[in-house]
A = this chain, B = another copy of it.
Amino acid sequence: MHDTDPETGLMPQQNLLIGQLLFSPARYDPDQEIVYRDDLRFTYRELRARVQRLADGLAGLGVRPGDTVTVMDWDSHRYLECFFAVPMMGATLQTVNVRLSVDQILFTLTQTRPALLMVHPDFAEVVTALAEHIAFPCGIVMLPDDGPIDGAICYEPLLARASDRYDFPELPETTTATTFHTTGTTGQPKQVFYSHRQIVLHTLSLIATYATKTDQGRFDQSDVYMPITPMFHVHAWGVPFMATALGVKQVYPGRYEPDRLLALQQREGVTFSHCVPTILQMLLAAPGGADLTGWKIVVGGAVLTRSLAEQAQARGIDIFCGYGMSETCPLLLIAHVDTQSLPEGADDIGLRILAGRPAILTDVRIVDEAMQDVPADGVSRGELVARAPWLTRGYMNNPEASRALWQGGYLHTGDIATATPDRYVKIVDRLKDVIKTGGEWVSSVDVEDLLTRHASVTECAVIGVADAKWGERPLALIVANGAIDSAELSRHLQGFVDQGKLSRFAIPDRFIAVEALDRTSVGKIDKKRLREKYAAPK
């Protein structure tokens, strides 16, 4: 890799490797801190030494380039060390969603055949169940908060007896660095994977997207970072890589407990986090009501309601959304607001709760079924598709799903969206949930949102059912407090049609009262199941 060409004398192109983010950061401050809960704090100098020791220790256990090392942990400094050490030694880091069932976890491990498992004691029972079906040739490493599993090696002793002068190999940049499984609502999990090159480019794009902002939602070398999206979920959105490359103070909270998260934020001066709306809700509802001014929080994973965003703002949080998915590493859109150039009276919070604007180097389009761009007029709907140098190249060992994902040369998000002329994207529905009726696309989410404004509706789901004349027609399933009055609900929706806020085709033909709505294993409304149940009219 380091040799010039014998004929031309030219040096080959230099590879992009994750180790460069650790050893050649944007800011080198060896005394900067990494904090783990109330238990531990150490410096970047020690982080670099610990990453070396971890790699040396794993190599001593027999882990080789090309092997998979699987981790099951809460957010910790140990996980951060794995983020670097495992890929840097040429092995693949598999991050496991610890909330999956034993069967699902077993399924993912059967696909990756890990050489070694690193696991937090909280998951000891899962490991015992797994060990009946799967062997870990290089053993099991216990992350040492608690007592070990029989026969497992402990993490700190492993590091203590290893060398801090491990010689990391020069790898091809296309070497697979990380892998994990998507937790789709249906079917078996699908395996995505990311190369060194992709993670380095994703990190550079994150930096260029966040650091270049003048004020709102900025991330620079003075920030203090704490993840509140799990590190097993798309590398905590890739932010630990960005934080390390910027040399900022990082705070790892272990298992999420709202009181502890808030206490850590206050004590350590955390200024940048990311989470899903549910966690934000829990943080805001926690007793104490501390002033959270100066805390920037990016929200993703589900729609952030205006009301929740306003509550966060009232507490001083700089709240805004991002959009991505397991298949996109995940950066695609960030809802930054150019506060300095925002027109008088503009709806600042209305922009922050959108999916966002495209990150640098992304090619984000909203297209119809023929892959033609729909107008960026804030109204026209199409599927959100994207290209970027860091999107998963497909699903491992699944050519059919891979081809479907990349149909027409763009990654299909499966989300229906609109875009404004200044490139703010709004997600209106999942493609599979949108109701195609009489040539129009009706957003089930829109109709549900308007229905729940009626006092009698506690919860609802709107699905498309086959219709000979219209292709599909909307059907509303209502969890009501009391009886439902279909005519009254129709009139309620007609009011929004009259105001031009809803298409007249969007009013469901039928409203059916149900006890509860079917849900998936991760708690989302299972529209696939509902469509099956209500497929046959009458």
Listed in ascending order, the chain A residues whose CB lies under 8 Å from chain B are 2-4, 7-16, 20, 23-29, 174, 195, 197-198, 200-201, 204-205, 207-209, 211-214, 220-222, 245-246, 338, 340-341, 357-363, 387-389, 391, 393-395, 398-403, 406, 408-409, 411, 422-423
Contact A13-B389, Cβ < 8 Å, known A245-B360, A360-B245, A403-B4 = yes
Complex Cα distance A363/B2, Å? 13
Q: Which B residue sits closest to A6, measured CB to CB?
A: B399
Chain B residues, CB < 8 A from A340: 222
B residues near A245, Cβ cutoff 8 Å: 208, 360
Which of B3, B24, B360, B393 is close to A360, meaning CB atoms less than 8 Å apart?
Answer: B24
Residues of B within 8 A of A422 (CB): 28
A/B interface sample: 5 pairs, CB < 8 A = A3-B409, A11-B394, A24-B363, A26-B209, A27-B338
- Cβ of A399: which chain B residues have Cβ within 8 Å of it? 7-10
Q: Name A4's contact: one of B13, B205, B402 (CB within 8 Å).
A: B402
How far is the CB of A249 from the nearest CB of chain B, in Å? 12
CA distance A394 to B409 in the complex (A): 35
Interface of A, helix, strand, loop or mixed by DSSP: loop
Q: How far is the CA of A522 from the CA of B362 in the complex (A)?
A: 43
Looking at the assembled complex, report how far the CB atom of A320 sits from the nearest CB atom of chain B, in whole angstroms.
15
Asked if A8 contacts B394 (CB within 8 A), the reply is yes
**What chain B residues lie within 8 Å of A393 (beta carbons)?**
10-13
Q: Is the CB of A211 within 8 A of B208?
A: yes
A22 CB → nearest B CB, Å: 11
Q: Are B214 and A207 in contact (CB under 8 A)?
A: no
Question: Which residue of B has the minimal Cβ distance to A3?
Answer: B409
Which residues of B have CB within 8 Å of A402?
4, 8-11
Known: A208-B26, A208-B208, A409-B3. A400 touches B362 (CB 8 A): no
Complex CA–CA separation, A205 to B20 (angstroms) = 12
> In the assembled complex, which residues on chain B have CB atoms less than 8 Å from the CB atom of A28?
357-358, 422-423
In the bound complex, residues from chain B placing their C-beta under 8 Å from that of A398 are: 9
Which chain B residue has the least Cβ–Cβ distance from A390?
B14
Q: Judging by beta carbons under 8 Å apart, are A211 and B220 in contact?
A: yes
Q: Assess A26 versus B388: contact at CB under 8 Å? Given A394-B8, A401-B9.
A: no
- A20 x B361 contact (CB < 8 A): yes
Residue in B closest to A220 when the chains form the complex, CB atoms:
B212
Do A394 and B204 have beta carbons less than 8 Å apart? no
- With a CB–CB cut-off of 8 A, which chain B residues contact A408? 2
Q: How far is the CA of A389 from the CA of B205 in the complex (A)?
A: 16
**Residue on B with the closest CB to A16?**
B389
Minimum CB distance partner of A215 in chain B: B222
Cα–Cα, bound, A126→B479 (Å): 83
Give complex CA distance A222, B387 in Å.
28
Interface centre among A4, A340, A387, A398, by most chain B C-beta atoms within 10 angstroms, is A4
List of B residues within 8 angstroms of A16 by Cβ: 201, 361, 389
Determine whether the beta carbon of B4 is less than 8 Å from that of A387.
no
**Shortest CB distance A333–B (Å):** 12
Pick the contact of A11 from B26, B338, B406 — CB < 8 Å?
A: B406
Determine if B357 and A212 form an interchain contact, defined as CB atoms under 8 angstroms apart. Answer: no
Which of A9, A197, A408 has the most chain B CB within a 10 Å cutoff? A9
For residue A392, which residue of chain B has the nearest CB?
B11
Known: A10-B393, A11-B393, A387-B14. A24 touches B358 (CB 8 A): yes
Residue numbers in B under 8 Å from A12 (CB-CB): 393
Given A9-B399, A28-B423, A204-B204: 6 more A-B contacts, CB < 8 Å:
A2-B409, A11-B394, A11-B402, A20-B363, A24-B361, A212-B246
